[in-house]
Amino acid sequence: MGADKAFLTVGDVPLIDRVLAATRAVCDKTIIITNTPDTFTYLDVELFTDIHPGFGSLGGLHTGMFHARTDTVFVLGCDMPFIEPKLMEYIISIRGDADIAVPVLGRYYEPLFSAYSRTVIAEVERTIEAGRRQIVSFFPRMRLRAVSEWELRAIDPELDSIMNINTPGDLIRAEEIAKRREEDRQ
């Protein structure tokens, strides 16, 4: 995208502000994992840099779990403009004794909209030590609670919560959704 996605705006609101509004509605504590902490200091949240730089989201997951103080850690990307807090609450509530409650759309996991047991940190560390970078690479060794599409749609019919911004086209689509939502409120 050519810029820090956290500061892209949708409906004139930076993505990071949208994500924080959702997390603050659900979570007792929110932390941000970033390798540019100075850009986030105004947000009044704890900031941590990657313990294992160069491992992307997997490294961020590890760092977040390392610093978390709760048994369940809900992991989100910073580029998700339409997070539904009730969907976060649902995913957290159904984790039960599974290691991870993860949405599954088609054949694909959504690891950056999932509830993790903090105990998976050892498996994340093994994955990093093996040089792997994909979060899902350790999933086969975990007890997963797959969250089906119909479960997701029961709370978020359009699955807007799962949307993330990876391309200029995604940003245009997000603006259209924000406009539609604003019109629906009027």
- CA dist., res. 53 & res. 77, Å (int): 17
Q: Which domains does the chain have, with CATH numbers?
A: 5-185 (3.90.550.10)
Q: Is residue 133 exposed (0-12), middle (13-18) or buried (19+ Cβ within 10 Å)? A: middle
Determine the Cα–Cα distance for residues 79 and 121; give it in Å rounded to an integer: 24
What is the distance between the alpha carbons of residues 159 and 77, in angstroms, rounded to a whole number?
15
- What's the pLDDT tens digit per position in 82-109? 999 999 999 999 999 999 999 999 999 9
pTM, entire model? 0.93
pLDDT tens, position by position, 154-178: 999 999 999 999 999 999 999 999 9
